[in-house]
Amino acid sequence: MAEMEVKNYQIFNDGIKSVQSLNEGLDTNKNNILESKTSLDNDAVFMGPICDSCLKGFSEAEAKIQAITEDFSIIATYLNNTSESYQKGDTDAQKTLDSSLQSTITPGTTTTLASESTDKKNINTSNLIQGSNVANAVSKYSQEISNAEYATINNNFFSTTSNETINGQPVKVTHVVINDGNQINGAPANGSYGNGLEKSSSAASRLNSNILINGSHFTTSGSEDLKGNNHVVIVNGQIKQDGTTGGQELLLDKRGNIYNASGKTAQQLVDDGVKYTFACHSTQVIQNGDTSASYLEPRQYKRTVIGQSSPGEYYIVTDTTYNNRLSDTAEYLKSKGCTNAYSLDQGGSVSLVRNNTLINNPSDSDGERAVGDFLYFTTT
């Protein structure tokens, strides 16, 4: 028999009333039998064996009615107990469900994800915006938040940094989700194009960033060279060096998208909404979901790679050794949903700064290297 889903406990009360009604009918019949039996018993001395037989039949009927009455009483008790059990079970289940829901985060609602403020984690989900990128990320990546070494979360910004391995090689993976394209930007060293080199930790403080990484490759002569192979430089939506793109640039537009394009002039890029260009190394990592270009670079090296998985969502892989293959990083980022990814400057330039603190290991003998520009995220 199919299990019945009880949504109205009145069904049990109705059953109990029906059983009680039957019992009342049985009591009436039993009383009638008793009266008849008493009458026969009074006349038994005159009616002889026939009356004795009737009396025996009435006694048996009385006993059966009594047994049925007791059975109905048991049924009524069972129905009552079942009703209470169902109600208690549903109440307990609801409590369990409520507890479970409190441990997950519904976008746009006040959550029970504990606020936290430490050197490595700063979490405040009290004012999440329903349906926003960040609210959805908090709901989707709750386990990631718990396991991460670093986390910064507020109503407009989500970021975690975790120690991971890619094909056995240690890396730091930073996951960033923003609500607005204005929260990702590029910036030249020392605040203006053509103004020398600067360390990432210094730039992070100056720019009030939460996450900052090294950007374009540059000359080692002590001055920045952000134009790359094709001499295109755009800073804050302004053309600093004109030229035609060759597809080796990371283009950052006003919506926060990162991509590349071949055969476009600097003016065309600005017209398309590009606000900053980064000179990347010639080999790209992922282009429109295709990782094949990354296999053209067989060399193991230390790199900064950034990929975008959806509007407002990014992954940054910061290598911590010189043993990483670009193709391994590409496949890892693709597994995270990234459709475009780019390798920025590498080697001793690799830097990852969270809240003004450099958290990776610089490989230059004298520590952190000054670089030409930066890609960074802000919390608002």
> Would you kindly state where each structural domain of the chain is located, as residue ranges?
10-103, 156-377
At 278, the pLDDT band (50, 70, 90 cuts) reads very high
Confidence label for 218 from pLDDT (cuts 50, 70 and 90): confident
What pLDDT is stored for residue 86 in this prediction?
A: 63
Listed in sequence order, the residues at least 6 apart from 345 whose beta carbon sits closer than 8 Å to its beta carbon are: 214, 215, 216, 217, 218, 281, 304, 371, 372
Q: What is the CA radius of gyration of the chain?
A: 38
Residue 336: pLDDT above 70? yes
Mean pLDDT of 103-112: 45
End-to-end CA distance of the chain: 59
Residue (of 134, 130, 234, 212) closest to 179 by Cα position: 134
Worst-scoring range by mean pLDDT, 92-106, 113-127, 330-344? Answer: 92-106
Contact (Cβ atoms closer than 8 angstroms) between residue 277 and residue 250: yes
Task: List the structure tokens of 213.
Answer: 């990484």
Question: Above 70 in pLDDT, residue 55?
Answer: no
* Distance of alpha carbon 242 from the chain centroid: 42
Residue predicted with more confidence, 61 or 177: 177
Predicted TM-score (pTM) of the model is 0.71
Look at residues 309, 316, 362, 339 and name the one whose alpha carbon lies nearest to residue 173.
316
Question: How confident is the model at residue 4, as a pLDDT?
Answer: 42
What are phi and psi for residue 338, nearest 5 degrees? Answer: -70, 130
Q: What are phi and psi of 147, to 5 degrees?
A: -85, -15
Q: CA 293, CA 330: separation in Å to the nearest integer?
A: 9
